[in-house]
Amino acid sequence: MHRRRSRLAIATLGVIASLLAPTVVAASPAAAAPSGGKKVIANLFEWTWPSVASECTSTLGPKGYGYVQVSPPQEHVRGNQWWVAYQPVSYRIESRKGTRAQFRSMVDTCHAAGVKVIVDAVVNHMSGQDNGGTGWAGSSYGHYNYPGIYSAQDFHYCGRNGGNDIANYNDRFEVQNCELVNLADLKTGSDYVRNRLAAYLNDLLSLGVDGFRMDASKHMPAADIAAIKNRLSRPAYIVQEVIYGAGEPIQPSEYTGNGDVHEFRYGKDLARVFRSERLAYLRNFGEGWGHLPSGVASVFVDNHDTQRDVGGVLTYRDRGVYALANAFMLGWPYGSPTVMSSYTFTNRDAGPPSDANNKTRATTCYSGWECEHRWPVIANMVGFRNATEGTGVSNWYDNGNNHIAFSRTGRGYLTLNDEDYAITGRSYYTGLPAGRYCDVIHGTFSNGTCSGPVITVDGNGWFSATVPAKDGIAIHVGARLS
Ligand code: LM2
Ligand code: CA
């Protein structure tokens, strides 16, 4: 992890910002269908288990999200900051977000809604508390002593930089054997530690979990992650957090043998394109930009770390532009997309809305919770993604600047206009079957009707329309009226 703080640029309000009010998505009966081709992940950062469960039923399932990613579920140090979750104290499934029973019930409810569950698994380290303490669920611990779980022999002591801390990211040994911000670094090379970590993950699998985001993967050799994965009781989706750093010895590509890898360049590059370059450059976005192979890349506009520390990415604060960037991500066939869902904050350490005992409050999607995954543009583009899964890009058009358009061959069409002016009355060749399609950037398609503008594609595959400044149009075969 790199710590680099910078102020996020002040948001510019796009025309579609008015459409982004986090209106509650109408509840409809959840489909019991398996996820199948549904691959979009909603990262419900710091949500409680009961809130995740009801969101699966009311919104994630109906809108077509295939997975929900939840914050670390194990017992953690006490405190009100969000990051207490990243300091494990034991592997009891008991945290400020809920109990084991609530966790199990959440998994069952999400599955019934057709949504799989990915857990953020903190396996590189334990707490960073020099003096130890008592964890959320009452377990006492020392910095290098977790009774019944780990003792002093199970940790690395790299003997560098005064306090065993990582300082030099250009040194592979140091990054993997020293401590990330004082967090007691597990000897992931040892059989005992590997078995104990696998036991934790297997416990989660027994509760029905479908996959893991392996936190701090860069700080563990890829072979150690492979050894843990080999001990799993059944196959699980794996996505590894390896933050790309130019010139660093540890590269994201080392980890692709284990599963997917977060592609951190994606969000940074996308933000730069939207803020100060040209959308026309996105024509070969992804592998053409030196990013990971599409099949192993996990992509996102922002995540809980980049929206705080890395800077330079687009976040909920960018309103309409953020929605457009997510629309591009969901419309463009590169990588496996995760939609971030946040609570609002001004202080980077501030935890989610919680009670006096630091127990996280139920999510409301107002008063403190941003719920980007419900923004109509983003939620509707999940349907676009699902309808176009597996198809390539054709009919690319750009004006050499900030207006782009492309087909997802035979299935959908997306045009984005990030110019400061409207593009009026242009004709677009989609290659789609003739018909009346719901513009899902401005309207929601349900029960055969569209709450927004309808786009008519003629018998030759063309339509004409005006695209306002900082706006777009998206149509797909899953949202066709006739
Ligand atoms: C990650 N990926 O590699 C997480 O995505 C990231 O959010 C985690 O950092 C980190 N690795 C460890 O899992 C967060 C947060 C830090 C916080 C740590 C541990 O960004 O600020 O560190 O979790 O809770 C905090 C203090 C830090 C202190 C440390 C240990 O900010 O100053 O270090 O706790 O007490 C002395
Ligand atoms: Ca390590």
Model pTM score = 0.93
Residues in the chain, overall count: 482
Q: Point out the least confidently predicted range of 34-48, 322-336, 465-479.
A: 34-48
Which of 381, 364, 365, 360 shows the shortest CA–CA distance to 441? Answer: 381
Catalytic residue among 215, 269, 372, 418: 215
Share of the chain above pLDDT 70, in %: 93
Lookup: tokens for 107: 């998994």
**CB 305 near ligand 1, within 6 Å:** yes
Indicate the pLDDT class of residue 37, thresholds 50, 70 and 90: confident
Which pLDDT tens digit goes with each residue over 98-120?
999 999 999 999 999 999 999 99
Domains of the chain in start order, with CATH, are: 15-388 (3.20.20.80), 393-481 (2.60.40.1180)
How many alpha carbons lie under 13 Å from residue 215 in its C-beta half-sphere?
28
Whole-number mean pLDDT of the chain? 93
**Closest ligand 1 atom number to CA of residue 243:** 3
For 108-165, how does the pLDDT look when each residue is reduced to its tens digit (9 = 90+)? 999 999 999 999 999 999 999 999 999 999 999 999 999 999 999 999 999 999 999 9
* Mean pLDDT along residues 433-462: 97
241 is catalytic: yes
Q: What residue has token string 């959320």?
A: 136
Strands (E) across 300-409 are located at 336-341, 393-398, 403-408
DSSP 232-281: -SS--EEEE-----TT-SS-GGGGTTTSEEE-HHHHHHHHHHHHHS-GGG
Q: Which of 76, 81, 86, 309 has most ligand 1 atoms within 8 Å of its beta carbon, as the pocket-test mutant?
A: 86
Higher-scoring residue by pLDDT: 13, 364:
364
Which residue of 81, 83, 127, 182 sits with most ligand 1 atoms within 8 Å of its CB, as the best mutation to test the pocket? 83
User: Which of 87, 131, 181, 304 best tests ligand 1's pocket when mutated (most atoms within 8 Å of CB)?
Assistant: 181
Q: How far apart are alpha carbons 216 and 226 in whole angstroms?
A: 14
Rounding to the nearest 10 degrees, give the CA dihedral for residues 104, 108, 113, 116.
Answer: 70
The residue type found at 325 is A
- Residues having C-beta closer than 5 Å to ion ligand 2: 124, 176, 185, 219
**Residue 69: its H or E element:** strand 67-70
Q: Which ligand gives the minimal distance to the CA of 132?
A: 1
pLDDT tens digits along 162-191:
999 999 999 999 999 999 999 999 999 999
Distance 239 CA to ligand 1 centre (A): 19
* pLDDT tens, residue by residue, 407-427: 999 999 999 999 999 999 899
pLDDT for 36 equals 52
List pLDDT tens digits, range 239-257.
999 999 999 999 999 999 9
27 contacts: CB under 8 Å, gap ≥ 6: 57, 58, 59, 62
Residue located via tokens 């005006």: 466
Calculate how far, in angstroms, residue 156's C-alpha sits from the geometric centre of ligand 2: 8
> How far is Cα 289 from Cα 270, in angstroms, rounded to an integer?
11
Lowest mean pLDDT among 2-16, 144-158, 220-234, 467-481: 2-16
Find the mean pLDDT for residues 70-74: 99
pLDDT at residue 311 greater than cutoff 90: no
Higher local confidence (pLDDT), 26 or 394: 394
For residues 366 and 264, the model is more confident at 264
Beta bridge partners of 67: 41, 116
- List, in sequence order, every residue forming a beta bridge with 37; answer none if it has no partner: none
pLDDT of the residue at 367: 85
Task: Verify whether residue 215 is a known catalytic residue.
Answer: yes
Instruction: For ligand 1, atom 6, name the residue with the nearest CA.
Output: 305
Asked if residue 431 lies in contact with residue 460, where contact means CB atoms within 8 angstroms, the answer is no
Q: Is the CB of 362 under 6 A from ligand 1?
A: no
Per annotation, catalytic residue among 120, 154, 224, 241: 241
Compute φ and ψ for 111, nearest 5 degrees. -60, -40
Q: Mean pLDDT over residues 227-236, rounded?
A: 98
Q: What is the mean pLDDT of the segment spanning 36-42?
A: 88
Signed CA dihedral, 446, 107, 54, 263: sign only = negative
